Amino acid sequence: MKKFLLRNILISVLIGLLGLWVATETGGQEPLPEPSGGQRTLISNERLEEFAKAYVKINDIIATYEPPTNDTQDREQVRKIQQGAVDKIHETLQTHGFTAEAFRRIFTVVNADDDLLRKLLKLIDNERRKAQS
């Protein structure tokens, strides 16, 4: 459970970094407001499946890039490793049809809805099984 929570935190941080990167690339435009309870976003099954695929891939990227950052004290080297991870995550998001903002929003909506969260966790589990076989 702790490992799952830590991964979620790491993914949230990386998504935040991607959001900052996107903001600088787009001239710092204002982000759209968060959906409130009355504006709950409907997420299609297909979109949720793509989210699960991207989520699993992002976890793999973090698993690849995290150990080298723990093994070095050189800040410049850590920055380069982190930038490599951010670039790979950005590429993964694009491959699955997401912007960093759209991915973050789905992440937020799903975490606020127990039914969607259960559904997503099943999809993530299925994607992990596919990746291992």
User: Is residue 34 domain-resident?
Assistant: no
User: Quick one: pLDDT band at residue 124, thresholds 50, 70, 90?
Assistant: very high
User: Is residue 75 domain-resident?
Assistant: yes
| Total structural domains within the chain | 1
User: Is residue 6 domain-resident?
Assistant: yes
Q: Encode pLDDT of 66-121 as tens digits.
A: 888 888 888 898 889 889 989 999 999 999 999 989 998 998 899 889 999 999 99
User: Is residue 54 domain-resident?
Assistant: yes
Cut 0.85: pTM above it:
no
Domain that holds residue 104: 2-29+43-132
Write the Ramachandran bin of 27: left for phi over 0, alpha for psi from -120 to 50, otherwise beta. Answer: left
Alpha carbon distance 72, 74 (integer Å)? 6
User: Is residue 38 domain-resident?
Assistant: no
User: Is residue 35 domain-resident?
Assistant: no
User: Is residue 119 domain-resident?
Assistant: yes
Residues 6+ apart with CB under 8 A from 35: 41, 105, 109
